[in-house]
Structure 1
């Protein structure tokens, strides 16, 4: 008896007198049924063994994020019981016998109110998605799709539960719409978008706290807008699964929140001989709890290694070692050293944020080896190779690669220079504004304090009305004190905006330039001669066919041509494999860049909070001054 017929017999036999499924009955009745039927008893024992093995079928960290958010959504609304899961599965549109098949694969002896674990929920959802793709639901099929799980669709989960309103979607979505939405106009004509004048209103989110008081729409909307784009832009199921797999590998929550922070301090004392002195930097790693000393050339070496090993990834920018005008190097002052320190900080923190770079052995050694890096490099023979060397693509993945990849790249490259220019201008304007603000405040308040002190000295000579003058002098001292406090607050605000907000803007600028440099390296290094080889193979095949027609052909010539054909076909396969791996890498980097755009929202949020903070402190300072000078004479009675 086949597994399917055995299962059908099992479900049919164990219906009770109320016609309730066996899954809802008590254990004693189940034992009574199975005890009298040897086939069913063996099936139940087999199910118990399989139940233990199912715990290791899927790794919860590898399932798509949609699974996580769907579980949180249903668990929050009704509690994740068997009854809730059953109703959800029944809304998938699958035939009744397929639903029974999925349920009976996963559960044995379970009541309606029994709570379902997250892992079993993922397994059921995976089987539903597999069934909707036309595959037969089984453990073997689940193993087949283990690394490329499909996304199931359900009728009872509508957009109102999974979509953020427009007022909750912030500026971060602009980059997503520019880079991907514009590349597929089919999205605007999708039936699910009818009746709207703004694509952003339907950015789909799977979110568990959207209506709660502590919801963070900026963070969650960035995650799940990408899922919405995948579902609506890429209609092919294989393309969607491919992109979901990439998005899942990047793990946005880990990319954004489980990030090390490297603090860099400048060592004031130079080291080295008379004419060859250099500046050292102390690097503090927060997560690794390490402290190392590095010099500028060490940072430059790390960047060169990353470019050599990962030429098709967005390697961060390095600040210049010095500036020159017409071949003459400018003097290195404290202001330039501080700017270079900040540039190095942006570089190394961008490296540790990157999901691939931060696990590279060279990066780990750079951040943890306590000795000088030059001495450490002498102890090893470092061989740095391209990350795609000796790698071969999976044939199935090549079929699932998005067909619109070239169109997306073209659209990105059309706008990248414009975005870079915008951020360069924005950084220059903000930097000049902060310097002007800081300098003008210092001059203005210095003049005010000088005039106040002069006025105080002028008042001291009068002895006509001692009490009157003493109150005036006390009031002026209070005013002087509060003006000094205001000056300190404004200077502190300008310093915070300069060190944090401006640096965040420069990080966005550097990220865009890194993307452009990645495309430039691709144009320079990703070169193949596939078309030439294919033409040569065709010509050799024609020669081979002509030789076969001839009478008394030379076997040596035939073997020679066959070897040429096989060699060229191997080269074609190798170059196509590399092309696919490079394109997949570029696509992954673009997705990572989209995820990292959440820092734009954080940037403006921090800016608003800092302005509010210092505005309130200034208001409190003036309020305190008003109270303290209340006794200061202001009129004669």
Structure 2
């Protein structure tokens, strides 16, 4: 999420700038802590007294991805037809790192700290069509040089002499791209979009210039996070979005768009602890004849052993989600996810307040600079009129000769007024510097704050999608295991009868085989998802350096403009020392 995180609910209930001991420690450590990731519709903007509450409310653009089992044989781009050998017997299950390069390639820092120098800018192109239907186009400009492998369908004519691509897109095109990415890469850190419109109850129009500016910046952050993701930037549809000429709407209609899941076609050799020994689960005719030759006690012992092994396998399958990807003996994966989610919410809450505080402090300082500028204006008016008051001749001898040499008092008044003019110049200079500082803080520094905020939100929604699929897959696995157990029980019952029908046996065996294959498909997907999530979480670790960069840049700008302000102030101070006192 972007500016949408500036929800009013965190500002209405209590003082958001209260001391940690008075608010933060109690609320954030509470088990009832629930960060507002989607504040739209839950807060009334009209009731918010805080002047900095952001009206940029979040529209529900989150698209739930469908978690259907793969049916095609397409594999993800970098690992087509790859086999993951995780069959290590009793040893810990280790999956070869399919995405090891992505962690090393990921660099979320700004271009001045990033060797790639890739950057996307988004500018508004207002376009009115008729009296009722109006929309805004966006000019998307970037300097990414795609290889021929990914650019074979793009139009080279869209690239200018500077090596920049310029395409025009609408908000609906951004929304389409988000929907596609969530379908193809549901377990990647995918940034959220800014809202298209204000939430219901807002007092301003969606054409409000402040709102449109915030939305444009949110779209720009959205694209920049995508191009910095080492997997998403290689997605052909992302490249098409950035390179296809301006008639993108028609292109979407005629293009053959593949929205299949990135895990389709990726093969995983399932560990033996998840595999049912089907040869023992049921007996074919030949095995049954051999079984009849065994003594009853040996047959009974074998049956008991098989029942124990079956229950052990069932238990392993039921705990597949809890297994830690680095050591399957540790059953803490989902517990760790839940713990991270709670603390992620705390970080989100605090960082949201930091973003508000940065914006608030800059506005207050800008308002102070305006007051100083007014001080200078009033001082100039004072200078303009004080010569009439501070001249004895105006009362004693108003008809003095104009070219008469000024006396000492008149000379001192001239000195005072000249030096006071330097004060008025100082206030004007101070306002100019503050205007420049506020512009840079608002366009660069504050956007960096919100960029980090977007990464936090992206990870949160990734965990949300993970938990959703965890519930769906666990339910499906439980159903399939129950069906296998019932079929196995029924199979043992009918095989003990003399009038058993072969068709009944075959039907039950088929049910067991199909259910077992479906379980293996789900386990394969779970293994890949957990590996992918681990990879994304490793990538997220790099975002802590965004905090370093943000604070470095923030204080560097503050020091720069503080020095300029101080230099002008010192000069004015030295001038004021020459003011006559008598």
Normalising by structure 2, report the TM-score.
Answer: 0.62
- Correspondence for 2:376: 449
- Correspondence for 2:220: 345
- Correspondence for 1:229: none
Shift of 1:501: 2.2
Tell me, yes or no, if the aligned pair for 2:484 and 2:515 is still in contact at 8 Å.
yes
Identify the match of residue 557 of structure 2 among 610, 614, 618. 610
Matching of residue 372 in structure 1 with residue 247 in structure 2: yes
Identify the match of residue 447 of structure 2 among 503, 508, 515. 503
Alpha-carbon deviations, 1:460-497, whole Å to 9, x = none? 44454454344333322222222211111122222222
- Correspondence for 1:619: 566
Distance of aligned partners of 1:327 and 1:422 in 2 relative to their CA distance in 1, 3 Å threshold: closer
Matching of residue 262 in structure 1 with residue 120 in structure 2: yes
**Distance across 2 between alignment mates of 1:238 and 1:254:** 31
Shift of 1:406: 2.1
Q: SS of the counterpart of 1:587? A: helix
Distance of aligned partners of 1:320 and 1:534 in 2 relative to their CA distance in 1, 3 Å threshold: same
Q: SS of the counterpart of 1:279? A: strand
- Correspondence for 1:287: 144
Identify which range, 524-533 or 294-303, moves more after superposition.
524-533
Shift of 1:525: 4.0
Shift of 1:324: 3.4
Shift of 1:281: 1.4
Paired residue total:
398
- Correspondence for 1:437: 365
Tell me, yes or no, if the aligned pair for 1:322 and 1:329 is still in contact at 8 Å.
no
Tell me, yes or no, if the aligned pair for 1:392 and 1:578 is still in contact at 8 Å.
no
- Correspondence for 1:334: 209
Matching of residue 530 in structure 1 with residue 477 in structure 2: yes
Identify the match of residue 309 of structure 1 among 177, 184, 203. 184
Shift of 1:407: 2.6
- Correspondence for 1:89: none
Alpha-carbon deviations, 1:227-285, whole Å to 9, x = none? xxxxxxxxx9967x759775554215656533621111222x32323211211111111
Tell me, yes or no, if the aligned pair for 1:424 and 1:509 is still in contact at 8 Å.
yes
**Distance across 2 between alignment mates of 1:609 and 1:254:** 22
**Distance across 2 between alignment mates of 1:340 and 1:633:** 52
> Runs of 4+ in structure 1 displaced over 6 angstroms?
396-400
Shift of 1:519: 2.4
The 5-angstrom pairing of residues 166-177 of structure 1 reads: none
**Richer in helix (by share):** 1
- Correspondence for 1:579: 526
Q: Which runs of 5+ in 1 are unaligned?
A: 1-177, 179-235
Matching of residue 251 in structure 1 with residue 104 in structure 2: yes
- Correspondence for 1:299: 174
Q: SS of the counterpart of 1:599? A: helix
Tell me, yes or no, if the aligned pair for 2:415 and 2:579 is still in contact at 8 Å.
yes
What's the RMSD between the two structures over aligned residues?
3.0
The 5-angstrom pairing of residues 8-407 of structure 1 reads: 248-252=101-105, 256=109, 257=114, 258=116, 260-267=118-125, 269-288=126-145, 289-326=164-201, 330-395=205-270, 401-402=325-326, 403=328, 404-407=332-335
- Correspondence for 2:59: none
- Correspondence for 2:156: none
Distance of aligned partners of 1:255 and 1:355 in 2 relative to their CA distance in 1, 3 Å threshold: farther
- Correspondence for 2:60: none
Q: SS of the counterpart of 1:271? A: strand
Distance of aligned partners of 1:484 and 1:243 in 2 relative to their CA distance in 1, 3 Å threshold: farther
Q: Which runs of 5+ in 2 are unaligned?
A: 1-28, 30-89, 146-163, 273-319, 392-405
Tell me, yes or no, if the aligned pair for 1:324 and 1:330 is still in contact at 8 Å.
no
Tell me, yes or no, if the aligned pair for 1:445 and 1:487 is still in contact at 8 Å.
yes
Alpha-carbon deviations, 1:595-623, whole Å to 9, x = none? 22210111111111111111111122223
Distance of aligned partners of 1:323 and 1:580 in 2 relative to their CA distance in 1, 3 Å threshold: same
**Distance across 2 between alignment mates of 1:449 and 1:533:** 80
Q: SS of the counterpart of 1:321? A: coil
**Distance across 1 between alignment mates of 2:412 and 2:462:** 74
Normalising by structure 1, report the TM-score.
Answer: 0.57
Matching of residue 634 in structure 1 with residue 492 in structure 2: no
Tell me, yes or no, if the aligned pair for 1:392 and 1:574 is still in contact at 8 Å.
no
- Correspondence for 1:163: none
Tell me, yes or no, if the aligned pair for 2:106 and 2:228 is still in contact at 8 Å.
no
Identify the match of residue 427 of structure 1 among 355, 366, 369. 355
Identify the match of residue 595 of structure 1 among 529, 542, 546. 542
Distance of aligned partners of 1:329 and 1:499 in 2 relative to their CA distance in 1, 3 Å threshold: closer
Tell me, yes or no, if the aligned pair for 1:266 and 1:282 is still in contact at 8 Å.
yes
Distance of aligned partners of 1:426 and 1:243 in 2 relative to their CA distance in 1, 3 Å threshold: farther
Shift of 1:429: 2.6
Shift of 1:594: 1.5
